[in-house]
Structure 1
Amino acid sequence: MAIAAMGLIGGSVTGCTSNGSQSTGGRSCLLGTWDLDFVASAEANSTADTTTGNHTIIFDDDTVIVQVDVSSSVKTVVEGVEATVDQSIKGSAEQRYSVHGSELNYGEVVWTKGSGTTTVAKGGETTTDEQDFTPTPDTTAEMGCESDKLILTSTPESDVTAGIATVEQIFTRR
C-alpha cells in the first residue's frame, strides 16, 4: 500500500466475532465506524511512537471508507539499522473489500483524495517519499474483531518503509 496506511490491521483476536458468536463470512462485525487507538497500537508494536490526529475507517456491506489526518514519528529498525520514520498523511478514500475467514482483502479503489509524506532517516541518510493518498488494491490484512475492538495486521508495502516489520493497528468502535 502506498501512503494510505489503509490496510494496516489483525493480531491476537482471531476470526471475527460479533456479540460473542461467529459472524457470517466475518463481515458483519466489521460494519460500522472504527477509530484507530494510537496508544494501544503503539504499545502492540513496541515502538517509540508519537502520533496525533484522527484515523477512521467506515465499513458498509462491500466498501470501506478511510479518513486520515495524521502525523507520526516512529523509531524502529529498518534492514538491521536504527531508523526514524516520520509520516504526515491527510486524505480519504473508498475501496471495495471482501472477507475470507480472518483475511480482509482490499479490492478496487472507488475514489481517493489527499496526499502524504514519509521520511525515513537511517544510517546517516534521509529518504523522503511524497505521494498522493492512494490505497493499493489486492492488499490483504489479517483481522480479528470482538464487539468494540478491531485488530488489523499487515506489512507496509511502500518502497520507503518496505523493511519495517509487520504492523498491528487496534481500532475501537465509535
Structure 2
Amino acid sequence: MLTNILLILITAAAAGYGYYLTFRLDRWVGEEKKLQADEEQNESQESCAVVFGEDEWTEEIGGWLKSRGLRPVFIEEACLKKDWKNVSLVIAISSSDEDNLSVCNLLRKIYHTEQLYGICNDQVNYIVYKRFHIQVLNRDIKITEQLENAMSGNEVVIA
C-alpha cells in the first residue's frame, strides 16, 4: 500500500514537472519567434548589398559596405529572400562569368537593383557584361578601390 502511494506521488510529480517544462518551452519558443520577427523587420528596413561568390576580398568588401551604411549579405548560391526589400547594390565575385551574369540579372529583375558589379573572368564575356549594364571589375586590382571609383562616377579601368 505504501509503495503504491509513493509510486502515485512520484508519477504525479513527474507529470507536473513535465507540464511545467512544456509550458516553459512554449513560452521560450514564443519569445524566440518574437525576437526573430523583430530582427527580420529591422533587417528588411535597412538597405543591403548582396555579394555573390566567395573570394579573398570577401571580408574586405564586407567592411567596405558596412562603412557605407549597407548591410552585406553574402551568398554562395543563387537564392532570393523576400525580406531583402532594399537591395541597393549587387557585387558578383565568383569565378564563373555565367553565374555572375545570371545572379546580377536575376537580382535586377526581382529587386530592381541598378548598381550591378561583377568580375569578368574571361575577356570574351566583357561585351555581355556591358550589354547587361553590369560594371566590370578587374580581379587583379583591389576591388574596394574599383567600387569606390565606380560609385563616385569615375570609370573603372580594365587593364
TM-score normalised per structure 2: 0.27
Structure with greater helix percent: 2
Structure of greater relative contact order (alpha carbons < 8 Å, 6+ residues apart) = 1
TM-score by length of 1: 0.26
Give the structure with higher Rg (CA).
2
Q: Greater strand share, 1 or 2? A: 1
